[in-house]
């Protein structure tokens, strides 16, 4: 199969790859680049565990052919969050509030939180629930996740994208 060359900024670092364009972006991240923080829960875009941010948009990496990730795209995965003030805030809030239990949905969940707050740090609980409806968690009942995001939102660094 023909391969395509791509250069991406993943978590602030440049990665050059040569990949079959239909290879799932999730597999490129996990298997080719060793970024195993991003998880596969369903493989069909239902659970959100594979959520990553591409050019500011939260996307499901299990449904995304890697060839569709544009050249020079800025990609953020769970591993990249700690490099940003907002990401660190979210990580601390998730930990403190008990938002992670088994933790398997968390890489996708917290990336969705980061994408949402980067766009709109004024989000109220209803908006938070709306923005995370595509991230399935089986452990927490979502209460502590919503609490954590609210708590991070209240302290979100003003005027930044996080």
Partner 1 sequence: MVMAVKELGTLHSVGKGIPRLDADEKVRGLAQYADDLNVPGAWYGFVVRSPVAHGRLRGLKKDPGFDWSQVVVVTPEDIPGNNIVDLMGRDMPFIAHDVIQYLGEPVALVAAASRHLARVAGSHIRADIEELPPLLTLQDMVARYKEDPAQLHELASQTIRKGDTEKALSEADMVVEQEYSAGHQEQLYIEPQGMVAIPESDGTMFIHGSMQCPYYINPELCETLDIPPEKLRVKQSAVGGAFGGKEEFPTLLAGYCALLALKAKRPIKIIYDRNQDILYTTKRHPSWSRYRVGVMKDGTIHAIQTEFLLDGGAYTTLSPVVMYRGILHAAMGYRCENVAIDGHVYRTNTFPNGAFRGFGAPQALWAWESMIDELAEACGMTPHEFRLKNCLHQGDSTPTGGILRDSVGSPTVLEKTLERANFSEKLKQCSHGRRGEKKWYGIGLSFFAHGSGFTGDGEARIKAKVALDLEPGDDGKPVVNVRVSSTEMGQGTCTILPQVAADALSIDIRHTAYPMPDTFKVPDSGPTVASRTAMVVGSTIFSAGKKMKAELEAFVSAELFDGQPVVLEQDRFCGSYGDKEMSFEEAAAQYLSRKGSLRVYDQFKLPEFIKWNQKTFEGDAYPAYAWGCNVAELEVDTLTFEIRVTRVTSYWDIGRLLNPVLAKGQVEGGLVQALGYAMLEKIEIKNGKYDADRMQTYVIPTTLDIPEMDLHFVEFPYEHAQPGAKGVGEIPMDGLAPAIANALVQATGIRMRDLPITPEKLFQMMHEEKTA
Question: Beta-strand (E) ranges in the chain?
Answer: 4-10, 13-19, 51-54, 57-60, 74-76
The closest alpha carbon to 107, from 161, 40, 162, belongs to 40
The region of 2-10, 16-24, 116-124, 136-144 touching partner 1 under the rule CB under 8 A is: 136-144
Instruction: Give residues 24-83 in contact with partner 1 (rule: CB under 8 A).
Output: 36-44, 46-47, 49, 77-79, 81-82
List 72, 85, 141, 154, residue binding partner 1 (CB under 8 A): 141
Smaller CB distance to partner 1: residue 69 or 81? 81
Using the rule CB under 8 A, which residue among 140, 152, 153, 162 binds partner 1?
140
Under rule CB under 8 A, residue 15 binds partner 1: no
| CB of residue 71 to partner 1, shortest distance in Å | 25
- Residues in the chain, total: 162
If one asks whether residue 161 binds partner 1 (CB under 8 A), the answer comes out as no
Choose among 75, 140, 130, 146: nearest CA to 102.
140
Decide: helix, strand or coil at residue 73. Answer: coil
Q: Does 143 bind partner 1 (CB under 8 A)?
A: yes
Q: Report which DSSP code applies to 68.
A: G
| Beta carbons of 25 and 58 less than 8 angstroms apart | no
Q: Which is nearer to partner 1, 82 or 154 (CB)?
A: 82
CA-CA distance, 108 to 33, in Å (whole number)? Answer: 18
Residue 9 or 101: which CB sits closer to partner 1? 101
Q: Identify the residue among 7, 55, 83, 138 touching partner 1 (CB under 8 A).
A: 138
157 to each of 38, 49, 120, 121, 125, how far by Cα in Å? 25, 26, 12, 9, 19
Interface residue list for partner 1 (CB under 8 A): 36-44, 46-47, 49, 77-79, 81-82, 90-91, 94-98, 100-107, 110, 128-130, 132-146
């Amino acid at each position: 199969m023909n391969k395509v060359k791509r250069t991406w900024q993943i978590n602030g670092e440049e990665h050059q790859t040569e990949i079959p364009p239909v290879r799932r972006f999730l597999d490129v991240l996990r298997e080719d680049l060793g970024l195993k923080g991003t998880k596969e829960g369903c493989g069909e875009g239902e659970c959100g565990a594979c959520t990553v941010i591409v050019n500011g948009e939260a996307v499901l990496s299990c449904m995304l052919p890697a060839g569709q990730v544009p050249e020079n795209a800025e990609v953020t995965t769970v591993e990249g969050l700690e490099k940003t003030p907002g990401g660190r805030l979210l990580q601390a809030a998730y930990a403190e509030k008990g938002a992670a239990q088994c933790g398997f949905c968390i890489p996708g969940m917290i990336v969705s939180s980061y994408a949402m707050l980067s766009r709109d740090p004024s989000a109220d609980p209803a908006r938070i629930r709306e923005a995370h409806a595509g991230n399935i968690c089986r452990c927490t009942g979502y209460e502590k996740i919503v609490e954590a995001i609210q708590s991070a939102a209240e302290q979100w660094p003003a005027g930044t994208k996080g």
